[in-house]
Chain A
Amino acid sequence: MRFTHKKEASMISTGLAIKVLNEALATGGDYGEIYLEETDAGSVMLENGKVETAGRRKSYGAGIRVLQKNASVYGYTSDLSEKSLINLAHGLANRFSDKPLFTVKSIEKQHVKVTNRIEDHLKDVAIEDKIAICRECYGVSSAVDKRIVRIQNVFTDDFKRIEIFSAEGEVGKRYENTEERGRLVMVVVASDNGKIETCFNGPGRYAGWKWFKDILDYKSVAKETAEKAIMMLTAAECPSGRFPVVITNGWGGVLFHEACGHSLEATATAKKLSVFSDSIGKQIASPLVSAYDDGTLPNEWGSNNVDSEGHVTQKNQLIKDGICVGFLVDKFNGRRLNMEANGVSRRQSYRYEPTSRMSNTYIAPGKDKAEDIIKDTKLGIFVANFGGGSVNPATGEFNFSACEAYIIRGGKVCEPVRGCTLIGSGKEVLLNIDRVGDDVGLGQGMCGSSSGSVPVNVGQPTIRISEITVGGRGGKLQ
């Protein structure tokens, strides 16, 4: 195995892993797994240019999972002593009452290809250097306008070391992996005449220090964040009704993430609880739409070398020319679906049982130019940035909130509006996409679901939805 960091000792010995797996599988489990994690996370926060808090946190523990056909048992502990792990495995095994199907005799170490290479670890960088970047961002943002009353700048980094022991026969497997991500978060608050507006930006990456220091144009992000907060002070209320909406590239992909991505996760489709449960081979989107979930994109925010079960991450096509061609499948839910796991099993930490989750999900580029899409829209809304959204996979009904939106009039982007929410059903909105641009971009977010909060990229080119329900307090669109 090739690692770019100093190799550290195993969190538990192979001998103990075999013992724990056999204890867990003693009552007829057909799959046993120990997930060990040690995370070293740090953050520093500046309020109006001064360091207000800084600290490091160590997360440490093990999650043990046993599967027997379509049932799973899961347990976790922060105590990795032999006694604690055996006790936990025993407690989990108690849920079944059959004879063991096999005894684990040996463990084979698996090669994990490092597709996300990092040369300069964030945890090794002096905190003063991280503070300096935050302070530069503060300087740029605060110079934008006197009405800016508060600026928060935060740098977070997260180094996660993982070991997985799993067995479904006499010879078990062992995987080692590391994950490392950093994020530069900025929040600007502007106030005028009792009105308060906020703007947020948080570029992040599975990357080392060089990317943050030399590649990320953090000063431009800081300037833009402050300018947007000021602009929103004078924005009018968003109108409500049903009309065309053009959605920007990059972070605009949260539309696809909510409207479709969650409903294609095996977590929802396996139990037939998703609107798209029986959709493979069927048209679920406009023929202009093709979409992927790709955990292999080097060093992207949602990427990884292997998933939480040890499967190598993949580029999975979900939609081809409007036809549903795949789901995101983890090991457990794959059993109900009779489908192979495709490298998408994720969890926030050892405290969560893994399940199918998105990584870097995006709509593929089309042929239109973004400016032409705007030019061809007589009256509608242009959404330039979203706060986020949510979905009910069973009904497909979703919502997302725009934090930066404008009226389009006569093919031109005009005045800004605030308080804009888009709602609809995934089935309807995907079919209503009538223009797809050629300018794919990615945006970083945190996605919350049953296996916790995980970093994901959302992405898309500029797209237009011919008609969608827009909610706001500004009356009719004129």
Chain B
Amino acid sequence: MKFDKFFALAKEKGLSEAQIQISKTKSTSINLFHHEIDNFSIADTQSIIACGVVNGKFGISRTEKMGRDTFEFLVDGIIESARVNEKAEEVDLFKGSPKYHKKNVFSQALADADLKDTLVLLHKIEDDLYAYDKSITEVDSVAFEESEGFSEFYNSYGLKLKQRSNFFYIVGSAVAKKGEEVKTNYDICLSNDLQAFDEKAFVNGIGEGLIKKFGGTQCDAGKYPTVLKDDIFSHLLGYFLESVSSDEIQRHSSCLEGKLGQKIASSKLTISEKPLQKNVFFSYFDDEGVATSNKDIIKKGVLKTYLYNRETAKKDGVESTGNGSWAGNKIGIGFGNVIVKGSKRSFEEMISKVEKGVYITEIEGLGTGMNPHSGDFSCQAEGFMIRDGKIAEPLNLITLSGNLFKMLADIKSFDNKMKLHPSSFACTDVLIKKMAIGGK
């Protein structure tokens, strides 16, 4: 095996089990500003995470430095890490799942794409954004990145897993001015199918969103029926899924402790994790080598499962759900390809019965404005009033406050426009009964 020397050294130095993961990434990125490439960047990196068991204790070490003494550095690091580990439970590494659902998600067409053609596309985006409206004074960035990743997993039980993937993203960002009023808007497209990228729709989306923002004011502070745009809802759900982590549950820091099998959200809500869905977020094994699987997390408002790694699963006497993921120096809980079921209604139908409400299209500051344990949050927001079932005047510098769990219980409906976001969540816009809006 490629890493025989590592495993031999690990054994020689007293490790009963060992594991090594190697990640290699190659990427190219371009940024346009004022019709010129103002930034071009290329990268070629690799990193290793190694872990193992010494006297029943877990140890870990990591490096980006490849050389003659790399394996020694890693093995010594594992021993030192395990030496001070005080966890009572004995640990072991994984022997392997009965079946792995490997798929080829690498896009050869993207890897073969000519950068010159991509550059033509980027220039077109920039030109079309400037031409979209005369109030657009700057296209502050049109950026592209293509990235190829290759990861390998080996352990001393002979488990060998490999995955190759690639993706690109395009960012367009523009600034518009009317008098003293300055507005910005941007969008990101993440995919591995460059041919399917719809330049016109991308530019129109940014331009239209930008122009509509002019004249934004604050509404009166109060509680309003609130529609959250798909990306905002997906952002909030990311925090919710932290509460579904079995690690948080077992440490008594999740509000969902003891709620398995109970109705915790509106019956309109169904959330699934589909890591085996074939897209850029596809992953057929987790960081412990456990095969991933598709599953419902919430079905019609009922909490169906917590997310487990091997250690937390053992504590609860269940099987790992394949959600083991490196979090610093330990295996924590991760997730990807999370899908929220939409409805058959159009956006217009969904808001048609809202007499006076708000449509939140952007939020800022959730990173610090969210208490992920209590679910309380408060952040800067902007969007539009909804009056008599229709989108009305723009809103600016308002705040959106709420509690994540209450918000999920108050879901009234979804629309039918499903969008996959760079956060690996796919969802639609959502209507919430009432949320607190701060303004005048």
Contacts and interface: CB of A to CB of B under 8 A. Distances in A.
Interface of A: 38, 43-45, 47, 50-61, 70-79, 84, 88, 91-92, 95, 127-128, 131, 149-150, 189, 191, 194-198, 238, 240-242, 271-273, 275, 351, 353, 386-390, 392, 394-395, 397-401, 418-421, 423-425, 469-473, 476
Nearest to A196: B373
A189 B379 CA distance: 22
Given A92-B40, A421-B379, A472 B371 contact: no
Contacts of B60: 53, 55
Given A71-B38, A240-B438, A273-B175, A88 B44 contact: yes
Interface stretch (B104-112, B158-166, B247-255): B247-255
B368 A386 contact: yes
Q: Which 9 A-B pairs have the closest CB atoms?
A: A471-B399, A471-B438, A399-B380, A240-B438, A388-B368, A399-B365, A387-B368, A60-B65, A55-B329
B378 A51 contact: no
B87 interface: yes
B72 interface: no
8 contacts: A57-B62, A60-B65, A73-B41, A79-B66, A196-B374, A399-B365, A401-B378, A421-B365
Contacts of A275: 182
B330 A53 contact: yes
Q: Which secondary structure characterizes the binding site on chain B?
A: strand
A435 B39 CA distance: 43
B184 interface: yes
A227 to B, nearest CB: 17
Interface of B: 33, 36-47, 59-66, 73, 77, 80-81, 84-88, 138, 140, 175, 182-184, 218, 221, 251-255, 328-330, 364-365, 367-369, 371, 373-374, 376-380, 396-402, 436, 438-440
Contacts, number: 242
B368 A395 contact: no
Determine which residue in A51, A394, A471, A473 has the highest number of CB atoms from chain B within 10 A of its CB, and name it.
Answer: A471
A141 B200 CA distance: 57
Nearest to A195: B374
B329 A43 contact: yes
A70 B38 contact: yes
B51 to A, nearest CB: 9
A470 B398 CA distance: 9
A347 to B, nearest CB: 13
B140 to A, nearest CB: 5
Given A399-B379, A423-B380, A52 B140 contact: no
A217 B180 CA distance: 49
Nearest to B436: A473
Contacts of B328: 43, 45, 53, 55
A421 B33 CA distance: 34
Contacts of A52: 85-87, 330
B41 A75 contact: yes
A332 to B, nearest CB: 9
A142 B88 CA distance: 20
Nearest to B63: A58
Q: Which secondary structure characterizes the binding site on chain A?
A: strand
A419 B377 contact: yes
Determine which residue in B61, B182, B251 has the highest number of CB atoms from chain A within 10 A of its CB, and name it.
Answer: B182
A447 to B, nearest CB: 12
Contacts of A88: 42, 44
Determine which residue in B184, B371, B396 has the highest number of CB atoms from chain A within 10 A of its CB, and name it.
Answer: B371
Nearest to A39: B64
Nearest to B376: A419
Contact of B369 (A92, A131, A421, A469): A421
B43 A72 contact: no
Contact of B329 (A45, A61, A74, A399): A45
A27 B22 CA distance: 35
A398 B379 CA distance: 10
B401 A471 contact: yes
Contacts of B255: 194, 196
Nearest to B38: A71
Contacts of B330: 45, 52-53
A389 B80 CA distance: 38
B402 A395 contact: no
A334 B245 CA distance: 47
Nearest to B181: A395
Nearest to A238: B378
Contacts of B436: 240, 471-473
Contacts of B66: 78-79
Contacts of B439: 240, 469
Given A56-B80, A78-B45, A401-B369, A61 B64 contact: yes
B373 A189 contact: yes
A199 B76 CA distance: 35
Contacts of B184: 392, 394-395
A473 B402 contact: yes
A70 B38 CA distance: 7
A197 B62 contact: no
A71 B38 CA distance: 4
A127 B218 CA distance: 53
A24 B43 CA distance: 15
